[in-house]
Structure 1
Amino acid sequence: MHLPDSGGDIYDRRDIHVLSRSSGTARRAALALTAAALACTALPATARAAPDPLARYHQQHLDWKSCVLDPEDTTGKELRQAGARCADVTVPLDYSDPGGRTITVAISRIRATDTGRRVGPLLLNGGGPGGPSLGDPPWVRKAMKDVAARYDVVGVDPRFIGRSTPLDCRWPTGSAWRGAGADRSGFDRVTAFSKNLAGLCRGNAGDALPHATTRNTARDMDVIRAVLGERRISYLGYSYGSYLGEVYTTMFPGRTDRVVLDGVIDPDRYGPRLLLGAERANRHALKGWASWAAAREGAYGLGRTRGEVLANVERIRKAAARTPLRLGGHRLDEHLMPMVVFNGLSQHNDAAYGDFAQGVRDMLRASEGQRVTPSPWLAGVLEFTLTGADSHYGSAQTAILCGDAPAPRDPEVYWRDVQRTRAQDPLFAPVTHNINPCAFWDRPRERPTRIRDDLPALLVNATGDPRTDYDGAEAVRDRWPSSRLVTLSGADQHAVYGVHGVPCVDDTVNAYLATGRLPARDVDCAAR
């Protein structure tokens, strides 16, 4: 799901699915021996390694240039100010046909200044899937403090994302995710909506769809590693980026140095129905926000107690189910209202809570029949969800999820799940259990990666994370006995390191990045 702006993922980039851009991202790549190097040995012909089919990609020369594309390019200007340069890495569209069509992956790099103690490259991924990370090195370096000088900090826009070769299904929305609605007719509308989105992808991006996968993104990372001339890379991955890190380290063992995964996904639960099980954490986060809003009743007018605030949220839900709410030039219906609430609950801080409270206030007024001009945060969510301005984000995110693992094909599976869970959670369960375009997607070309049994990585997770729940971090910790887990208690926060401002967490991560030594035992940190 990048981080410091207003993007989120199902986990990321666009707040509509996960992180607000206050999460960070990082990626790692690794280097492989080339056929030319192997050919220099004195081994008999029969003992020599086969030619490297990716040699022309591993040996390519990068044209490092300014990251600024035009006078309006804010990201490029931030990168330039931080001393970054950018380049395009050529990779195969289809790794089973390396001599065929090629695409490009855009990267940025701020080089190490402490060259005498240089560790190597630190690749970033801020989540998603579908989130760009090319612009993340400046804020990640700030989070790293003094240790940043020892790394080449490398931002990557994964294949089909950001400045890389694009994948755009030309959707009328930036997000495929919707609530199921109150009854079967509403569910049938979302089913038709999802089927139409899948058809648009097939018609507008069909050639690329089979190759939009996490496994191919990991292969691209290894090309980047080789092009940078490195035997190993370090990696910082948030949210979906944690799964990408799990896949990369499994596919390319021995090619990583220091690995930090923040907002950890349990690989056994990763797939097109990634949100299943997120209801409990989101209910907890909603209650926490409601208590915060109740303490500021004078500013937002949502109620003097947590119960009153939650009752107003429920009032909005029921009103949107009866008649779509008018908010400026947009209409908020029963399918979108739960997504707006879901979107407001990934960051546990006053600024994010305040934005969300203003949005809830706007929706409450609209439910009472008032004419409302939505606040900037709510206007951004509605623009993202109800127009095609960010179609590329939703297209790439969905293509990766659908390309990584198969989804149930029968709509009745989803309808039964929604009905079974609706009574317990009428707000979130019809979102997390609902149908999506993956039900109408072609079957993936490859099976999901079976994640390796152990890796000495540093895992970071908040106990109340509403996107990648804490159970996932514990599952990976159990799977990887050599790893260590940094737990942030008392925060409903998605993405912690460098984002939430907790010295206990940031200092632990930076110590590991500086020394390469994991803590002797798991670390518990308290929220501010």
Structure 2
Amino acid sequence: MLRLRRAAAAAAAAAMTSASLITGCAFHGEAATYDGGLARSQRQKVVWHGCKNSPRDTMGDELDKAGARCGEVTVPLDYRHPDGRVIKVALSRLRATDRAHRHGTLLYNPGGPGVPALYLALQLRQAEPLLAARYDVIGMDPRFVGRSTPLDCHWPTVSIGSAGPDRSTFEKTVRLSRDLASRCARHRSVLPFVSTRNTARDMDVIRAALGEKKINYLGSSYGTYLGEVYLQLFPHRADRVVLDSTLDPDLYGPDLTRTMGPAVGRALEHWAAWVARRDSRYHLGSTTAEVLNAVNELNRTVSRGPIRVGRHTVDSQVLPQLLWNVTAGDDDEAYASYSADVRVLVTAARGSEANPTQVLEQTLTGLAAPDTDGTFSVQTAIQCADRAASHDPEAYYRDIQAHRTTEPVFGPLARTVTPCSFWPAAPAEPATKVRNDVPVLMVGATGDPAAVYQGQLAAHRDLRGSRLVTLRGAFHHTVYAGLFAPKNMCVDKAVNTYLKDGTLPPGDMTCRS
């Protein structure tokens, strides 16, 4: 139920929200509190200009050369108070090349949260000629990200790390999480509004400012949750919607990674079978079991004490993050790169001198660096604003201990405490309950290590008007257009057919990797 300032308004909103859950439409409940802020913001028009904003702005330069235009919309910090503080949200537009067959505007969110999308909209259009021809493609830097009134807590690290093998290493993550949260306290006045619900409202402001009655949408990873929230708040404003690797809306939040450990473990097994067939090259074992034993022995060795890899120290809080990179992809190129990195780590753990590969060097350097652009802090801020986390660190420690046997490598990383447990501001609204009948096309892989398939099925049930295209036998995250994983012609055909004529498949479909 929405938090309203007056009891009467709260009661009215509660009644409308309850009805909306039955009918699958939450628009009227949204309007009861936020329509004033939305209506005022939606009367504006975007003033377009060049995208390059400095001599060193290579992203803006590429957008300009591709014919893009950039602009901003002004939105309330808090839609309940439209006369209060406002912020800027930046967007880019690449116009449809086939104006005679233009269908409308398509807004793209690649995931994150906290990922700028101005430039990635160009990559999407380059990857899919159909989108370039039929749609004006919009890239949006979500509120407090990139060029959209950026928020930066100046964190000294880009990760919390694993909770490690024991109480002492877990307490390190607790202290670090508490410290990082305290560094965001100076932004306390805005933190409750760094939420996906408000980003969805910003999307609807953009829709109106562009003069569109409805908007088309493509979201992947976290972008699927943003799409789910938009559909729940504005079901009548959505046209053709594609969700790639859909998150379970009932689980999204600071603790979402707790669902990922087993899925990443299965991805590790898939890689182990691949590398076992290439034992003459990588020497990690000639069977899946031997390879997994080598990884587990590596983990046990590092749990007893750190190892040296070139100029870097790899300890029990860093190693699981390196091994988590098995999620980067399941094609030969990705697995070859990952295998070379694991070979280096195993060599170091066995006491021999080991120098990192170029990829491993970059990864280790990045993990040791501060959060220079604020990505980690704003990503965390969004999750903390979307759903409250437990404030009891012991709950996380008990969960880690309960899963040490079944998730020895990834459990302490995926299940540890986060800064949200110590966050200086509570969410302004409850988490969004997604239940509606809006037509949606969902695509995803059975072995997805991030958007776990059980969560995709749960989202499919919640989005009762959806069709699901399942890619079987794949262990990568995102499946459409080859942007972040290998292209699959079956998946791409299903999506492009829908985007071309608006017709969903008659039923759920299965594609093969």
TM-score of the superposed pair, with normalisation by structure 1 = 0.86
What CA deviation, in whole Å up to 9, does each residue of 1:7-66 have, x standing for no partner? Answer: xxxxxxxxxxxxxxxxxxxxxxxx99xxxxxxxxxxxxxxxxx99444553233433222
8 Å CA contact retained: 1:460, 1:487: yes
CA distance in 1, matches of 2:105, 2:124: 13
Deviation at 1:125, TM superposition (A): 0.6
Indicate conservation of the 8 Å contact 2:434/2:462, yes or no.
Answer: no
C-alpha displacement at 1:299, in angstroms? 3.7
Query: Does structure 2 conserve the Cα–Cα contact (< 8 Å) formed by 1:234 and 1:256?
Result: yes
Confirm or deny that 1:410 pairs with 2:392. yes
Measured at CA, do residues 90 and 373 of structure 1 come closer, stay the same or move farther in structure 2, by a change above 3 Å?
A: farther
Q: Which residue of 1 aligns with 2:458?
A: 475
Matches of 1:399 and 1:83, distance apart in 2: 34
Structure 2 residue matching 1:422: 3-state secondary structure: coil
Gaps of 5+ in 2: 1-26, 29-33
Distance 1:505 1:67 in 2: 33
Is 2:250 the partner of 1:271?
A: no
Residue in 2 that maps onto 1:230 = 212
User: Residue type of the partner of 1:277?
Assistant: T
2:499 corresponds to which letter in structure 1?
L
SS state of the match for residue 409, structure 1?
coil
Does the aligned pair in 1 maintain the 2:434–2:463 contact within 8 Å?
no
The corresponding residue for 2:299 is: 317
CA displacement 1:209-266 (0-9 Å, x = unmatched): 1211111111111111111111110000001111110101111120010000011111
Cα distance change of structure 1 residues 80 and 280 upon mapping to structure 2, 3 Å threshold: same
Q: Percent identity?
A: 47
- Once the two structures are superposed, residues 383-418 of structure 1 have per-residue CA deviations (whole angstroms, 9 ceiling, x without a partner) of 332211445111011111111111111111111111
Local SS of the residue matching 1:217: helix
Amino acid at match of 2:509: V
In structure 2, what residue type is equivalent to 1:520? P
**Matching of residue 352 in structure 1 with residue 338 in structure 2:** no
After TM superposition, the structure 1 stretch with the greater mean CA deviation from structure 2, 362-371 or 475-484, is 362-371
Pairing 1:272-291 to 2, within 5 Å after superposition = 272-291=254-273
> What is the 5 A alignment of 1:148-159?
148-159=132-143
Which structure: greater helix fraction?
Answer: 2
1:381 alignment partner in structure 2: 363
- Aligned counterpart in structure 1 of residue 192 of structure 2, from 200, 205, 210: 210
Tell me the equivalent position of 2:511. 525
Equivalent in 257, 273, 297 of residue 279 of structure 2: 297
Residue 429 (structure 1) shift: 1.4
What is residue 242 of structure 1 aligned with on the other side?
224
Q: Does 1:110 align with 2:94?
A: yes
Distance 2:47 2:307 in 1: 51
| Greater Cα offset, 255-264 or 285-294 | 285-294
* CA pair 226-290 structure 1, distance change in 2 beyond 3 A: same
> Partner residue of 1:13?
none
Kindly tell me: are residues 393 and 370 of structure 1, through their superposed partners in 2, closer, same or farther at Cα, counting changes over 3 Å? Answer: farther
| Preserved CA contact (<8 Å) 2:45 2:210 | no
2: distance between equivalents of 1:179 and 1:505? Answer: 35
The residue type equivalent to 2:449 in the other structure is P
| Shift in CA distance, 315/75, structure 1 to aligned 2, threshold 3 Å | farther
Query: Which amino acid letter does the alignment assign opposite residue 148 of structure 1?
Result: A
Alignment partners' CA distance in 2, 1:334 and 1:513: 46
Tell me if the contact between 1:167 and 1:208 (Cα under 8 Å) persists in the aligned partners. Answer: no
1:338 aligns with 2:348: no
RMSD after superposition = 2.2
2:285 partner letter: G
SS in 1 for 2:403: helix
Stretch of structure 1 that moved more, 343-352 or 517-526: 343-352
Bigger shift: residues 490-499 or 432-441? 432-441
Tell me the SS of whatever aligns to 1:109. Answer: strand
Q: Deviations along 1:476-516, whole A, 9 cap, x unmatched?
A: 22223321000000000100001221100001100000001
Question: What TM-score comes out, normalization by structure 2 length?
Answer: 0.88
Indicate if the aligned counterparts of 2:271 and 2:326 stay in contact, CA closer than 8 A.
no
2:503 equivalent to 1:503: no
Correspondent of 1:91 among 75, 100, 105 = 75
Q: What one-letter code is carried by the residue in structure 1 that aligns with 2:301?
A: A
Equivalent in the alignment of 1:457:
440
Matched, 1:171 2:155: yes
Residue equivalent to 2:411: 429
Which string of whole-angstrom CA distances, capped at 9 and with x for unpartnered residues, describes residues 61-105 of structure 1?
A: 433222234454443343234321212222222222222222222
- CA-to-partner distance for each residue in 1:340-391, whole Å, 9 max, x for gaps? 2113314221222222222212222332344444223223322332211445
- Report the equivalent of 1:492: 475
2: CA distance, partners of 1:494 / 1:121: 26
Q: Which whole-Å CA distance do the structure 2 matches of 1:119 and 1:440 have between them?
A: 46
Partners of 1:373 and 1:201 in 2: CA distance: 37
For residue 65 of structure 1, give the secondary structure of its aligned residue in structure 2.
Answer: coil
**Equivalent pair of 1:458/1:485 in contact (CA under 8 Å):** yes
Instruction: Report the secondary structure of 1:112's partner residue.
Output: coil
CA contact (8 A) 1:86 1:106 kept: yes
- Deviating beyond 6 angstroms after TM superposition, the runs of 4 or more aligned structure 1 residues are none
**Of the candidates 153, 161, 173, which is equivalent to residue 145 of structure 2?**
161
The one-letter code of the counterpart of 2:461 is D
Q: Secondary structure at the match of 1:345?
A: helix
Query: Shift in Å at residue 124 of structure 1?
Result: 0.5
Secondary structure of the residue aligned to 2:75 is strand
Q: Which one of 195, 202, 205 corresponds to residue 178 of structure 2?
A: 195
Q: 1:280 to 1:389 in 2, by over 3 A?
A: closer
Q: In structure 2, what is the equivalent of residue 37 of structure 1? A: none
Provide the residue aligned with 2:10 in structure 1.
none
Q: Deviations over 1:429-460 (max 9, x none)?
A: 11222111111113211101111332210001
Question: Do the aligned residues in 2 keep the contact of 1:91 with 1:102 (CA within 8 Å)?
Answer: yes
CA contact (8 A) 2:344 2:356 kept: yes
1:183 to 138, 153, 166: 166
